[in-house]
Amino acid sequence: MTAMTAGELQEFLANAFSTPPPFLIEEVGDWGARLRLPTSALIERPGGTVSGPNLMSLADSAAWLAILAQIGPVALAVTTSLHIDFLRKPVMVADVLADGILLKLGKRLAVVDVAMRSEGSEELVAKAQVTYSIPPR
Amino acid sequence: MTAMTAGELQEFLANAFSTPPPFLIEEVGDWGARLRLPTSALIERPGGTVSGPNLMSLADSAAWLAILAQIGPVALAVTTSLHIDFLRKPVMVADVLADGILLKLGKRLAVVDVAMRSEGSEELVAKAQVTYSIPPR
Amino acid sequence: MTAMTAGELQEFLANAFSTPPPFLIEEVGDWGARLRLPTSALIERPGGTVSGPNLMSLADSAAWLAILAQIGPVALAVTTSLHIDFLRKPVMVADVLADGILLKLGKRLAVVDVAMRSEGSEELVAKAQVTYSIPPR
Amino acid sequence: MTAMTAGELQEFLANAFSTPPPFLIEEVGDWGARLRLPTSALIERPGGTVSGPNLMSLADSAAWLAILAQIGPVALAVTTSLHIDFLRKPVMVADVLADGILLKLGKRLAVVDVAMRSEGSEELVAKAQVTYSIPPR
């Protein structure tokens, strides 16, 4: 069982930030969290494509929410490092799904693997490994 | 001598995108490019702080412009990987300066080291290594 | 079908290097390659533990062999970047298994995800993302 | 002033491991540590070239010693992540110098930038960013 459900996390984000996040929290579990970045979020930006910064930001959020789902919203976790490989251009007509899978949830550090793909495709558009520092509880 | 000056690059960006970039191109040279992210760009976002995604996007831009300054705007260079370590919280009252230094400009790949710090401080807030793929010319 | 079987790759390594590699090639497929690092290889070194450099070298080899299995031994592929997160101390009494999974096999670049764990355990000891440059064929 | 001199670190390594390290500690300071990998260390291996694993291991050692020089040999620091970009083939007739520069020495994490080049050349052969976890003192 996770400390927070997908719905609770989505509500937490809505209250914590004045601007709503561009993604939806699709699912959370002991394994981590899945986010959905709708194509509508992409069409708004010039060029109308999923840019590298969009995907880096999505990877960072997927890692953060995979951790918060386990430890709750109290802890102030901060990114210490992020590595991302860009693999293919995303298909524009489909949402991007990001699966943040917990590789380690230690007392001080958490490491999350994030796989991103266009919905309906098995091929990854990008792959990240993200480390968060977890403050003493 | 670089293929494009800081002014030419800034004009190229203004014409290529409908939204102006959040940064200024401060300086370019054979060594790479320096970008400035004004505090005004940061105050606009909720929380008013320099977030991880801001810095990742800045690192990616500094690497891209360090390369374009050498090879001109014709080539369609794309990020293949980005690694970033977050080191310290940026000082809010100061602009962030990003120095993109070319480590390698090969026929197929370019690698750029990006050091980011608050103006007036010598301590880095973040450090990145970014790889771009350069298409056949 | 792969260009080379596990046996052919093992023979290729035996002929190409005067010192045999410390690992065995357990399995290859369209998905990539699995290597096994026997505990005997580890006991030989001072301290008798699986060190970081052992795991980095294993990750690099798993990526390389996942690629060679697809394109054959002709091509001279070279590592362009490697990122590794160390997650847990390996259990000493068990072999380490490294699964190199091809994320992308392009004309110029290949990216391989490498998951390493002690045999009999599901928890990863380390996780890497490795990029190889593939010369024009 | 550092907690340990280059000589003290070299002696510490000689006592701590049954096999001597392949490198020499050339210099340490508040900025970090410089290691020298002699060509003799390279000729011993098949092919006689500076391999990727040699450079990864050297980068890891340079980061480790840059940290130990500051905090002394007591603390058990472990690598949590390493990112390396390989840039050029090293010149074989020259030693490889590795400069490990401390980017951050925090209470829990230290981040070190490692630049590697052939002696007598300004061009880097490889560039790494390495993170160590520092146990509570």
- Measuring CA to CA, which residue among A63, A2, A61 is closest to residue A37? A61
Say what the pLDDT of residue D50 is: 72
A126-133 mean pLDDT: 97
D61-118 per-position pLDDT tens digit: 999 999 999 999 866 889 999 999 999 988 878 999 999 999 999 999 999 999 999 9
The band of B42, judged by pLDDT with boundaries at 50, 70 and 90, is: low
Residues of C in contact with D79 (CB under 8 A): 52, 86
Lowest mean pLDDT among A86-90, C97-101, C120-124, D43-47: D43-47
CB B134 within 8 A of CB B111: no
The band of B75, judged by pLDDT with boundaries at 50, 70 and 90, is: low
Four-CA torsion C132, A110, A33, A23, nearest 10 degrees:
-80
Token match 């996040």: residue?
A21
Q: Does D85 contact C81 at a Cβ distance shorter than 8 Å?
A: yes
Residues B81, A87: Cα–Cα separation, whole Å: 9
Lowest mean pLDDT among A19-28, B18-27, C11-20, D25-34: C11-20
The band of A74, judged by pLDDT with boundaries at 50, 70 and 90, is: low
Which structure tokens are listed for B133?
């793929």
Q: Is the pLDDT of residue D46 over 60?
A: no
- Give me the sheet containing D78-86, strands edge to edge: C24-29, C32-37, C96-105, C109-118, C124-133, C78-86, D78-86, D124-133, D109-118, D96-105, D32-37, D24-29
Q: Is the pLDDT of residue A42 over 90?
A: no
Q: Per residue, what are the HEC states of C37-100?
A: ECHHHHHCCCCCCCCHHHHHHHHHHHHHHHHHHHHCCCCCCEEEEEEEEECCCCCCCCCEEEEE
Lowest mean pLDDT among A97-106, B93-102, C47-56: C47-56
- Count CB neighbours of C70 within 10 A: 20
Q: Does B109 contact C83 at a Cβ distance shorter than 8 Å?
A: no
User: Helix or strand or coil: residue D86?
Assistant: strand
B24-40 mean pLDDT: 94
Q: Is the pLDDT of residue B72 over 70?
A: yes
CATH classification number, A6-133, choose in 3.40.640.10, 3.10.129.10, 3.40.50.1010, 3.30.460.10: 3.10.129.10
User: Interface partners of B (3+ CB pairs, < 8 Å)?
Assistant: A, C, D
CB A130 within 8 A of CB A60: yes
Q: Is the pLDDT of residue A47 over 60?
A: no
Say what the pLDDT of residue D43 is: 55
Question: pLDDT averaged over chain C?
Answer: 90
C44-62 per-position pLDDT tens digit: 554 556 788 999 999 999 9
Say what the pLDDT of residue A123 is: 95
Residues B131, C121: Cα–Cα separation, whole Å: 35
B14-42 mean pLDDT: 89
- Count CB neighbours of C27 within 10 A: 15
Which structure tokens are listed for A105?
């949830």
Residues C22, D61: Cα–Cα separation, whole Å: 21
Quote ipTM for the complex.
0.93
Residues B119, B90: Cα–Cα separation, whole Å: 10
Token match 């927070």: residue?
A4
Q: Where are the beta strands (DSSP E) in A1-137?
A: 24-29, 32-37, 78-86, 96-105, 109-118, 124-133
Say what the pLDDT of residue A39 is: 81
Say what the pLDDT of residue D137 is: 66
Residues of B in contact with D85 (CB under 8 A): 103-104, 111, 129, 131
Query: What is the Rg, in whole angstroms, of the alpha carbon atoms belonging to chain D?
Result: 14
Q: Is the pLDDT of residue B10 over 70?
A: yes
- Give me the sheet containing B32-37, strands edge to edge: A24-29, A32-37, A96-105, A109-118, A124-133, A78-86, B78-86, B124-133, B109-118, B96-105, B32-37, B24-29
Contacts of D98 (CB under 8 A, 6+ apart): D23, D34, D35, D36, D37, D58, D59, D61, D62, D114, D115, D116
CB B135 within 8 A of CB B109: no
- Measuring CA to CA, which residue among A128, A2, A102 is closest to residue B82? A128
Residues of C in contact with B109 (CB under 8 A): 80, 133
User: Helix or strand or coil: residue B26?
Assistant: strand
Question: pLDDT averaged over chain D?
Answer: 90
Q: Is the pLDDT of residue B43 over 60?
A: no
Residues of D in contact with B131 (CB under 8 A): 85
Q: Is the pLDDT of residue C23 over 70?
A: yes
Can you give the residue ranges of every domain in chain A?
Answer: 6-133
Chain D nearest-CA residue for B108 = D87
Strand B24-29 versus strand B32-37 pairing type: antiparallel
User: Interface partners of D (3+ CB pairs, < 8 Å)?
Assistant: A, B, C
Q: Is the pLDDT of residue D8 over 60?
A: yes
CB B112 within 8 A of CB B100: yes
